[in-house]
């Protein structure tokens, strides 16, 4: 039997569009809100809302620890969570090439739906566009998220010298899992992406003296710290020996010539916390599944630089990562 594939007619707005949406999409998104599909969905929000968007272009679409569907949910849930908002509603927009395997597409949709359920968020609106063969390579997903603000964690002015820096997970697993999956380097290994929704973990720490947080995706921890430094006028001293990283991940980064601090994560947040609450936040994070490897990795200083104290006893600047890093990593 020949494989079922995506056809242009699925995106045409006619009969096949209706069947596709019913059979491949709505089957998995079993929430009530989406039943009465209109051009927009009606949702209940509070006055203070957070809103975010992210497109996902990762190749390959399936990787150790997830796929583009799961990632598209985690990425947007995490953007809301690190901004101090409780994620409530997501949109889900597919762009897929004619000829794409319907079986794989359904796996991706199912995985997104399951991840949304685990995170406790409702996917309330969607869109599907089909482009001709060659119009795109495979599949692209955009998700937007709407959440209710619990505590605004985007304010750089809150950050002051003496605040501590926590990373909530061991780093560089997502980027290296993708590299292994691509198989270009002839390396083997069993590195699973850290791809995970962080909203349940983050909700445990909002009551503490958290100053700022951001998830360390494209550009990794280095990009986050440099952006904070630029915007806040403060700096960081980070201790290499405290950075949580798996031995095999560190070795692969070393072999391939990547600085683990610049490698993308999809389940790791940088948290800036007042010294007074640092231990309580760390203990709380470590009691959660996604935060069990959390570590304090350094502190905020007045000198507007990002400095790494290396294991060998040296000091080096951590700069905003230049150039293209790993393309199509998220």
Q: Which residues contact 104 (CB under 8 A, 6 or more apart)?
A: 61, 62
Binding mask 192-221 for its own copies (x = CB under 8 A): ----------------------xx-xxx--
Looking at 49-57, 104-112, 163-171, 188-196, which segment touches its own copies (CB under 8 A)?
49-57
Task: For its own copies, give the closer residue by CB, 78 or 104.
Answer: 78
| CB 96, CB 168: distance < 8 Å | no
Task: For its own copies, give the closer residue by CB, 314 or 322.
Answer: 322
Residue 305 found at the interface with its own copies (CB under 8 A): no
Task: For its own copies, give the closer residue by CB, 9 or 239.
Answer: 9
Looking at 62-70, 72-80, 176-184, 293-301, which segment touches its own copies (CB under 8 A)?
72-80
| CB 71, CB 178: distance < 8 Å | no
Binding mask 124-163 for its own copies (x = CB under 8 A): xxxx-xxxx-xxxx--x-x-xxxx-x--xxxxx-------
Residue 46 found at the interface with its own copies (CB under 8 A): yes
Residue from 172, 196, 223, 282 that binds its own copies (CB under 8 A)? 223
Give me the least distance between CB of 73 and its own copies, in Å please: 14
| CB 267, CB 73: distance < 8 Å | no
Helices 102-119, 68-82: crossing angle, 10 deg rounding: 30
Residue from 22, 48, 183, 304 that binds its own copies (CB under 8 A)? 48
Cis peptide, bond prior to residue 60, ω within 30 of zero: yes
Looking at 38-46, 105-113, 169-177, 287-295, which segment touches its own copies (CB under 8 A)?
38-46
DSSP state of 4: P
Q: What whole-number distance in Å separates Cα of residue 1 and Cα of residue 3?
A: 6
Task: For its own copies, give the closer residue by CB, 93 or 102.
Answer: 93
Give me the least distance between CB of 141 and its own copies, in Å please: 9
Residue from 95, 113, 159, 171 that binds its own copies (CB under 8 A)? 95
Quick one: 188 exposed, middle or buried, by C-beta within 10 A (0-12, 13-18, 19+)? Answer: exposed
How many residues lie near its own copies (CB under 8 A)?
Answer: 86
User: How many other CB atoms are there within 10 angstroms of residue 327's CB atom?
Assistant: 8
Q: What whole-number distance in Å separates Cα of residue 55 and Cα of residue 92?
A: 10
DSSP state of 262: G
């Amino acid at each position: 039997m020949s494989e079922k594939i995506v056809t242009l007619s699925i995106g045409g707005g006619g009969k096949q569009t209706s069947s596709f949406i019913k059979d491949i999409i709505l089957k998995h998104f079993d929430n009530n809100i989406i039943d009465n599909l209109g051009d927009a969905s009606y949702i209940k929000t509070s006055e203070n809302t957070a809103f975010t968007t992210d497109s996902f272009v990762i190749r390959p679409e399936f990787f150790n620890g997830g796929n583009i569907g799961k990632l598209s949910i985690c990425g947007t849930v995490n953007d809301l969570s690190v901004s101090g908002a409780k994620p409530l509603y997501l949109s889900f927009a597919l762009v897929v090439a004619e000829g794409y395997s319907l079986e794989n597409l359904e796996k991706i949709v199912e995985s997104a739906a399951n991840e949304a359920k685990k995170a406790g968020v409702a996917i309330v609106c969607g869109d599907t566009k089909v482009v001709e063969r060659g119009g795109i390579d495979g599949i692209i997903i955009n998700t937007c998220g709407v959440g209710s603000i619990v505590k605004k964690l985007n304010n750089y002015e809150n950050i002051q010298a003496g605040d501590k820096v926590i990373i909530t997970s061991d780093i560089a697993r997502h980027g290296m899992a993708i590299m292994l999956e691509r198989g270009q380097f002839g390396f083997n290994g069993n590195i699973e992406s850290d791809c995970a929704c962080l909203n349940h973990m983050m909700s445990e720490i909002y009551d503490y003296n958290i100053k700022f947080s951001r998830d360390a995706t494209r550009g990794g921890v280095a990009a986050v710290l440099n952006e904070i430094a630029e915007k806040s006028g403060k700096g960081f001293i980070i201790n290499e020996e405290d950075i949580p990283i798996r031995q095999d991940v560190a070795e692969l980064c070393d072999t391939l010539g990547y600085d683990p601090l610049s490698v993308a994560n999809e389940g790791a947040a940088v948290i800036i916390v007042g010294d007074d609450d640092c231990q309580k936040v760390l203990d709380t994070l470590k009691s959660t599944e996604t935060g069990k490897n959390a570590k304090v990795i350094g502190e905020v200083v007045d000198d507007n630089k990002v400095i790494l104290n290396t294991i060998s006893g040296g000091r080096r600047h951590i700069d905003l990562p230049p150039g293209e890093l790993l393309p199509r990593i998220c």
